[in-house]
Chain A
Amino acid sequence: MVTVASNTKPKVIVVGGGLAGLMTTIQIAEAGVPVDLFSFVPVKRSHSVCAQGGINGAVNTKGEGDSPYEHLDDTIYGGDFLANQSPVKHMCDHAPGIINLLDRMGVMFNRTGEGLLDFRRFGGTQYHRTAYAGATTGQQLLYALDEQTRRHEVEGKVVKHEFWEFLGIVKDDDGACKGIIAQDLRTMMIQEFRADAVVLATGGPGIIYNRSTNSVMNTGTAASAVYQQGAKYANGEFIQVHPTAIPGMDKLRLMSESARGEGGRVWVPRTPGDKRRGEAIPEAERFYFLEEKYPAYGNLVPRDIATREIFAMCVDEKMGVFGENQVYLDLTHLDKKQIDIKLGGILEIYEKFIGEDPRTTPMRIFPAVHYSMGGLWVDFVKDNTSGGLVVGDPRNQMTNIMGLYAVGECEYQYHGANRLGANSLLSCLTAGQMTGPGVATYVKHLPKSVDDLPASLFEREKKVRQVQYEKLAASVGTENPYKLHEELGDVMTANVTVVRYNDRLKATDAKIQELQERVERVSIADNSSWTNQLIPFTRQLKNMLHLSRAVTLGALARDESRGAHYKPDFPKRDDARFLKSTIAEWTSDGPKLSYEDVDTSLIKPRLRNYAAEKNESETAAPEAESVKEKLVVSTNTSHGTNGANGKESFGTGLTGATRQEMQIAAGADANGSGDQLSTRPPEARRDSPYSLGAKEEIRIADDNWLTGANDAADADPAKASNPVSVEGEKLVSTR
């Protein structure tokens, strides 16, 4: 029998036990509201353990004059101005406090000689702003929260449901979220759980790319489930490809940005195909391309830029190490004892999986899918005095479904078009810290308790999920869901990562729809009713396919280049048309896209240029003035303050012709962006082996660095010729 937290008082369900989920849980429990915590795995094994480099906070202990404002500006600039600025300000303002809190919880952060917290450099900033615990910071932070959660569990405030899968929410007749349906992954029992509010902290969707730096459970299945139940999904097309990972058949393992923060250098031999080992190549024959092209930031340019440069160096310039898709990440010049103390965790991973010692041999790395800036749309309530958020307001972090919240990587609002390194742990923690009190306020002020609702409401929803499961269990066919997943990952990796072309995005969407048909014909070789892994995976795969369409079609519709989203055919940022969040809403015909203004109330958008110091690029801002003037930003657009009314829709009524004209106009304005991929004209990049071939014959790239496979797969040309369009009627406003 499953025990459930007290049903006489308000109660909350948190789904997901990573940093965001546990911080939210602790805050809600501390506010005196009992929490039922659901997780696939014992929460100590959540994906947050994979975070390596550190957590940002402008504590300014190095006499550099760092401040939360600088942190805000770096984050907004790094995110190419797509993030709503008030939530980011909240995050940066609360960063020093959250680091102190985790320090008090016993996180073994590295220390200075005085016993203070040490801070190191990270990408996209010129300050020492990143607190760290070796190179396993995420693991250390998660463990601290796991321990505090266990304490609340012992005190009876939290009930954990581990090895459970979230299947969907239960809505009342007014459309408010009043609980969840979940499945015990051992007994396979499907059960309903009532709650006055539900918080999703279910992480990112990296596994839609199959091999990435993500843990295997990061399928985005929970986010997709609520997306299909009416939650809006925002900026799905913004997927971060991390510049430095090591390839593997099962996973692409992250080599933290902190390696460069501690002085690691990225280079290739000046002679293409140089057969000598890296350590044997003299200094003069090494091309430190990031340092040469970006003198101000060097190896610490933001991830989107480093990734494009590495990609261009290998794919376009054919300068990859040993002629392959890989570059050196070199630590061999650094003090070996110091890097053991500061980077031990990643050195260990490299040694274990590659069998070489990175202290004496330069590591060979290549970019890998890493993080989703996009996610469930959530609200915020701006504090007009501070410019940050109204702490404790129940609308902060609430999705468009009343009573359903989202925190952590599964939501969209802190990182814009490109996340800065060491800001993800921070966004999980500050959002969790803020959401807890807001949720407590919400549930305490509800006019009636969830326990007053009729059982039939929950029974009905449970039945839906049971029928869904039984139908899957009875599925007869020839398809293997793991193979279908591999096909999904291959096509997504080839076409919806570093470089994006519209024809290939259309072909990808066609391929996803083909997979949606084929997944209905899976062979369920195992329909055992105890610890069945096959049927839940198939269910997750279906959810992954829905989310993949939102990602792909969001990318297709965004004809510009911004942060991680790069289209050679539209190489400039286009603020006039696309300084907007993409909003995807699920329909049975596919995602319906609309656009929402971005809160740029604190920092005026300016062009990014990481070749220069940030202040210099600020003086370059007037160039962007003409773009900026076109912005349609209401002074009142803070999400919650005016409800939905303050938000202007973007897409309404735009015809294809109008969009094209706007593109041309903006293209003439927005020039001089310093983070362009290469000097080559877009057409020259067309036939790169990484992306697809000619327009007529759509082929999946032979990108064995990411897929681990050498065999290229053909997309169905019949499908490719009939792509789903998001032009015209699909691009409509939701309001």
Chain B
Amino acid sequence: MAYSEEQMRRIIAEYGPSVWRLAMAWLHNTADAEDIYQEVFLKLIRAKPTFENDAHQKAWFLQVTANCCKDHLKKAGRRHAAEEQPPAAEPAGENDALEAALDALPDRYRTIIHLYYFEGYQTGEIAGILKMKPSTVRSGLKRARKRLKDFMEGEVLDV
């Protein structure tokens, strides 16, 4: 199956942000996230997967992104660039505590938090995307919440 330019644009527009956010959540590094971003879409061209529906396609993108991030960290070692910050969308003061709390989380916890709170996946779906046991995802989510709560000093986490 060959994609037209228009199809490619649509795919990038539709799934690009999710890929980018997950890559950033995992890697916290813009340069690395850009590499992962392009690699994921090139895999789409090379593998030519067939999708049952949009949800399946999105899950495929997130799963490939997670795998690429894992491989990237394995190859490069832990290159967590603390100085790299995601672009501030709001006044810095509002997000300082959140960014600091997210930075303090281990990679896998940060990824679970992202997929759970932003992408809206259930723990079972997250387990499928990250190739983890559901119990591992649930325990990771629980620990991540506790750390965020402790770090944000009294922020009420409705989780």
A binds B: no
Q: Which A positions have Cβ atoms within 8 angstroms of B?
A: none
